[in-house]
């Protein structure tokens, strides 16, 4: 239910940046009520976990101290809730295994109607590494929710997951091989959309999966499609194996030639080919620079160095002063024995090799022959998955306070959309009503970055000053003097008074009245004062008029 809140005149002070906006809408919470065909509906507004089962099991093959599913769950409001009374399921523990599940009203059978699964997630503290996905637990004779673990058979796994900079939105289902009866996970292709915002903005997002009897599927976030495809063509590995495979017993013949190019067997090394010629030779045209100090070394012993007192020549050897750059070489072209620089040898050819030619015996890259795949099958209806009769969250997270709400499973899309609008739609409306207005957003931004005040003032002040100067301080143009006409052959008007009156009328049309100019000045001062939140501008009754004058 939407209730319009009475508005008051809003202060421009940054201290009121989060005050209610004029015309804002307050949203009163009302728990969504499931209507239409559905298999599961949970809003947690009863405030209890009576219909949920906490796992008492332990994970296998890991250390005993972390094997327990001892992560805490609570039903509570969001920390920054805009809808008091709207409760949800909250994962409370960091670095713990969590497992909780609940039975459906009746098993979901994949027949002629679609599957719609949707629920809400809010990463209240952000998310470093962890998941918030849901598992639809397969209907099996030995399903025991008290023993719900990571290896409990599921039909579909769906939802967000993130670790590091890897942002995932899983849609995985377990496909049963019709020949062997074994199950294999099939993963939907990765969404093309950028998912980062959903994990970082600390807002509540609605995750929806739709799987249709024609094998098409859609993944939606906030009722917007972010991924779609077909179970037959967009899953990895593919649903159906290849009809033919490479013969594992086939072997490449020993005389099979895979070389596309070979060295020309008839090529002969030229007689003038010198393989021993060096790659570089001294430049015979080089001349030693004037001033080169042949007798001076580049480095000399440091004359100020002193042998350490604890130097033991028997253990450390004869002490020598450390080397330092020769000061005489700093102003000279160089020191030491001069040598000609090396240049590329124009006669260098390197080791001779016969040129490459097409291989007349080339047979191509060998591949094993194809044979019929003994494991081939064709399942044209992968939508007909294993029925499921429970929903569960089996998670590990390095972040706490992950908020879940409004789980819903149905085979009617309009029913699911109505539930979404009554639940997530209300949260969205409440968050929108709580968003600060444009002015308050500007004030908040300027509080964080004070230099923005200069931008705000200039943006408002410069246009107003130009308008005031142009329209309020213009002077009348002087009429042409008689001497000006004498400098040209232009005829002088016979009726000078008429021309002057017309010029005055044109000038008056451009000028604003004094009252309008005063009003414009007052508007300018008020705008600047509002931006600066300068109460002294209005402290005295004559403050505005004094500024405008």
- Residue 420 belongs to a domain with what CATH number? 2.60.120.200
Q: Which residues contact 437 (CB under 8 A, 6 or more apart)?
A: 10, 21, 22
Whether 156 and 227 map to the same domain: the answer is yes
- Give the pLDDT means over successive 10-residue stretches in the chain (549 positions): 35 36 62 92 92 90 78 91 88 91 97 96 88 95 93 96 88 95 95 88 94 97 95 96 94 95 94 92 93 92 91 89 92 92 93 95 95 94 97 92 95 95 88 65 62 73 72 54 51 54 55 58 60 44 41
Distance CA 270, CA 346 (A): 17
| Three-state SS at 425 | helix
3-state secondary structure 363-420: CCCCCCCEEECCCCCCCCCCCCCCCEEEEEEEEEECCCCEEEEEEEEECCHHHHHHHH
Q: Which residues contact 329 (CB under 8 A, 6 or more apart)?
A: 293, 296, 298, 335
Whether 426 and 444 map to the same domain: the answer is no
Q: Which residue has 């001294």 as its token pair?
A: 282
Residue 157: predicted pLDDT: 97
Residue 410: predicted pLDDT: 97
Distance CA 121, CA 203 (A): 8
Q: Which residue has 């008839």 as its token pair?
A: 266
Q: Which residues pair with 229 in a beta bridge?
A: 217
Residue 386's nearest CA partner among 136, 132, 93 is 136
Q: Is the dihedral of CA 490, 492, 498, 503 positive or negative?
A: positive
DSSP β-ladder status, 166-176 and 183-188: antiparallel
Distance CA 378, CA 240 (A): 6
Residue 506 counted as domain residue: no
Whether 110 and 64 map to the same domain: the answer is yes
Q: Residue 451 is part of which domain span?
A: 439-466
Distance CA 267, CA 83 (A): 88
Residue 536 counted as domain residue: no
Residue 220 counted as domain residue: yes
Asked if 393 and 134 count as a contact pair (C-beta separation under 8 A), the reply is yes
Domain edge (last residue) among 434, 453, 476? 434
Residue 193 counted as domain residue: yes
Residue 79 counted as domain residue: yes
Number of domains into which the chain is organized: 2
Burial 285-321 (b: 16+ CB within 10 A, else e): eeeeeeeebeeeeeebeeeeeeeeeeeeeeeeeeeee
Residue 120 counted as domain residue: yes
Whether 461 and 393 map to the same domain: the answer is no
Whether 390 and 458 map to the same domain: the answer is no
| Three-state SS at 529 | helix
Distance CA 537, CA 297 (A): 79
What's the angle, vertex CA 227, arms to CA 392 and CA 429, rounded to 5? 75
Q: Where are the alpha helices (DSSP H) in 233-349?
A: 313-316
Residue 90 counted as domain residue: yes
Cβ atoms < 10 Å from Cβ of 199? 21
Query: pTM of the prediction?
Result: 0.63
Residue 359 counted as domain residue: no
| Three-state SS at 431 | helix
Whether 429 and 445 map to the same domain: the answer is no
């Amino acid at each position: 239910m939407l209730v319009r809140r009475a508005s008051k005149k809003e202060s421009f002070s940054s201290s009121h940046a989060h005050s209610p906006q004029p015309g804002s809408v307050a949203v009163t919470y009302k728990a969504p009520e499931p209507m239409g065909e559905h298999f599961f509906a949970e809003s947690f507004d009863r405030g209890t976990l009576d219909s949920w089962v906490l796992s008492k099991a332990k994970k296998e093959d890991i250390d005993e101290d972390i094997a327990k599913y001892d992560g805490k769950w609570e039903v509570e409001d969001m920390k920054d809730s805009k809808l008091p009374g709207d409760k949800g399921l909250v994962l409370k523990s960091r670095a713990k295994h969590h497992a909780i599940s609940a039975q459906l009203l009746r098993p979901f059978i994949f027949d002629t109607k679609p599957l719609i699964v949707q629920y809400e997630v809010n990463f209240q503290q952000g998310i470093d590494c962890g998941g918030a996905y849901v598992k639809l637990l397969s209907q099996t004779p030995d399903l025991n929710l008290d023993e719900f673990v990571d290896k409990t058979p599921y039909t579909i796994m769906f939802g967000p997951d993130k670790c590091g900079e890897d942002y995932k939105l899983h849609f995985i289902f377990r496909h049963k091989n019709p020949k062997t009866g074994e199950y294999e996970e099939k993963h939907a292709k990765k969404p093309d959309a950028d998912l980062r915002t959903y994990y970082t903005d600390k807002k509540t997002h609605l995750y929806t999966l739709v799987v249709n009897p024609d094998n098409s599927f859609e993944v939606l976030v906030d009722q917007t499609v972010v991924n779609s495809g077909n179970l037959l063509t967009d899953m990895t590995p593919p649903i159906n194996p290849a009809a033919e495979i490479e013969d594992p017993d086939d072997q490449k013949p020993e005389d099979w030639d895979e070389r596309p190019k070979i060295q020309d067997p008839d090529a002969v090394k030229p007689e003038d080919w010198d393989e021993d010629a060096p790659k570089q030779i001294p430049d015979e045209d080089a001349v030693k620079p004037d001033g080169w100090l042949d007798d001076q070394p580049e480095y000399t012993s440091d004359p100020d160095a002193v042998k350490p007192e604890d130097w033991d020549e028997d253990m450390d050897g004869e002490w020598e002063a450390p080397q330092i750059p020769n000061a005489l070489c700093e102003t000279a072209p160089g020191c030491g024995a001069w040598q000609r620089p090396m240049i590329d040898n124009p006669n260098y050819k390197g080791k001779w090799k016969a040129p490459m030619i097409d291989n007349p015996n080339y047979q191509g890259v060998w591949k094993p022959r194809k044979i019929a795949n003994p494991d081939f099958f064709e399942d044209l209806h992968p939508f007909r998955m294993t029925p499921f009769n429970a929903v569960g969250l089996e998670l590990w997270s390095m972040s706490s306070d992950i908020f879940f709400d409004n789980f819903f499973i149905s085979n009617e899309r309009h029913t699911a959309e109505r539930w979404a609008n009554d639940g997530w739609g209300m949260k969205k409306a409440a968050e929108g009503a709580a968003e600060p207005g444009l002015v308050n957003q500007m004030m908040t931004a300027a509080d964080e970055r004070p230099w923005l005040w200069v931008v705000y003032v200039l943006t408002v002040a410069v246009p107003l000053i130009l308008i005031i100067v142009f329209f309020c301080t213009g002077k009348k143009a002087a009429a042409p003097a008689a001497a000006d006409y004498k400098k040209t052959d232009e005829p002088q008007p016979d009726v000078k008074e008429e021309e002057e009156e017309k010029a005055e009328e044109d000038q008056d049309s451009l000028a604003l009245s004094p009252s309008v100019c005063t009003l414009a000045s007052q508007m300018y001062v008020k705008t600047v004062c509002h931006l600066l939140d300068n109460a002294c501008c209005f402290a005295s009754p004559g403050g505005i008029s004094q500024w405008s004058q």
